[in-house]
Chain A
Amino acid sequence: MPSFARGRYSVTLAALACMGATWGIMLALDWSVTLGTVALAPWVALIGFDLGVVGAAAAGLLATAAWVLATEIADRNWSAGQVVVRAAALVLLGAGTAIAGRRLRAQQRELRRTAALQTALLDATIDGICLTDADGELLIANKPLRMMTRELGLPQSGTVPERLLAIADAMTEPERYRERMQALAHAPGDASIDEFEVAGTGRVFRGYTSPVPEGRIWTLREITADRELDRMRDAFVATVSHELRTPLTSISGFLEMLEDEQHALGDAGRQYLDVIRRGTDRLHALVEDLLLVAQIEARRVELQLAPVDLAKITELAVEAMRPAATEKGIVLDVGIDSPPPVLADALRVRQVVDNLLSNAVKFTPQGGSVSVSVEAVGDGGRLVVADTGIGVPADEQKQVFSRFFRSSTAASRAIPGTGLGLAICHALIEQHGGSIAFASREGEGTEVSVTLPAA
Chain B
Amino acid sequence: MRKRVLVAEPDPDVRTLLEHAVRRAGHDAVAHAGRDDVDAIVMEPGCAVARSLLDGFDGDVPPVVCVSIYPPESGLAPPETVAYVLKPSTPARVARVLADVLEA
Contact = CB atoms under 8 A, between A and B. Distances in A.
Interface of A: 242-243, 245-246, 248-254, 256-257, 284, 287, 291, 295, 300, 302
Contact of B87 (A248, A256, A295, A300): A248
Interface in B1-37: 11, 13-14, 17, 20
A250 B15 CA distance: 9
A284 B13 CA distance: 18
B14 A242 contact: no
Contacts of B17: 249-250, 253-254, 257
A253 B14 CA distance: 8
B73 interface: yes
Given A246-B11, A253-B17, A254-B17, A291 B87 contact: no
A252 B46 CA distance: 20
Nearest to B20: A257
B89 A252 contact: yes
Given A245-B69, A291-B71, A250 B13 contact: yes
A254 B18 CA distance: 11
A249 B13 CA distance: 9
Nearest to B12: A250
A248 B20 contact: no
B70 A249 contact: no
Nearest to B17: A253
Given A246-B14, A249-B17, A250-B13, A256 B91 contact: yes
Contacts of B73: 300, 302
A254 B17 CA distance: 7
A250 B11 contact: yes
Nearest to A248: B88
Given A254-B17, A257-B20, A249 B89 contact: yes
B92 interface: yes
- Highest count of chain B CB atoms <10 Å: which of A242, A253, A284, A300: A253
Given A248-B87, A253-B14, A253-B88, 16 more contacts: A242-B46, A242-B69, A242-B70, A243-B69, A245-B69, A246-B69, A249-B88, A249-B89, A250-B14, A251-B88, A252-B88, A252-B89, A254-B13, A257-B20, A287-B88, A295-B71
A286 to B, nearest CB: 11
Contact of A245 (B13, B88, B90, B91): B88
28 contacts: A242-B46, A242-B69, A242-B70, A243-B69, A245-B87, A246-B14, A249-B11, A249-B14, A249-B17, A249-B89, A250-B13, A250-B17, A251-B88, A252-B88, A253-B13, A253-B20, A253-B88, A253-B89, A253-B91, A254-B13, A256-B90, A256-B92, A257-B20, A284-B88, A287-B88, A291-B71, A295-B71, A300-B73
A133 B17 CA distance: 72
Q: Which 9 A-B pairs have the closest CB atoms?
A: A253-B17, A245-B69, A248-B88, A245-B87, A250-B13, A249-B88, A256-B90, A249-B87, A242-B69
A409 to B, nearest CB: 32
Interface of B: 11, 13-14, 17, 20, 46, 69-71, 73, 86-92
Contacts of A302: 73
Contacts of A246: 11, 14, 69, 87
B12 to A, nearest CB: 9
Contacts of B92: 256
Contacts of A291: 71
A277 to B, nearest CB: 12
Contacts of B70: 242
Contacts of A287: 88
A295 B72 CA distance: 12
Contacts of A251: 88
Contacts of A257: 17, 20, 91
Nearest to B86: A245
Contacts of B86: 245
A300 B73 CA distance: 8
Contacts of A249: 11, 14, 17, 69, 87-89
A143 B62 CA distance: 65
A302 B71 CA distance: 13
A291 B87 CA distance: 12
Nearest to A241: B69
B46 to A, nearest CB: 8
Nearest to A252: B88
A221 B30 CA distance: 59
Contacts of B89: 249, 252-253
A287 B17 CA distance: 20
B91 to A, nearest CB: 6
A252 B91 CA distance: 9
Nearest to B92: A256
Nearest to A246: B11
A302 B91 CA distance: 29
Interface centre among B11, B20, B87, B92 (most CB of A within 10 A): B87
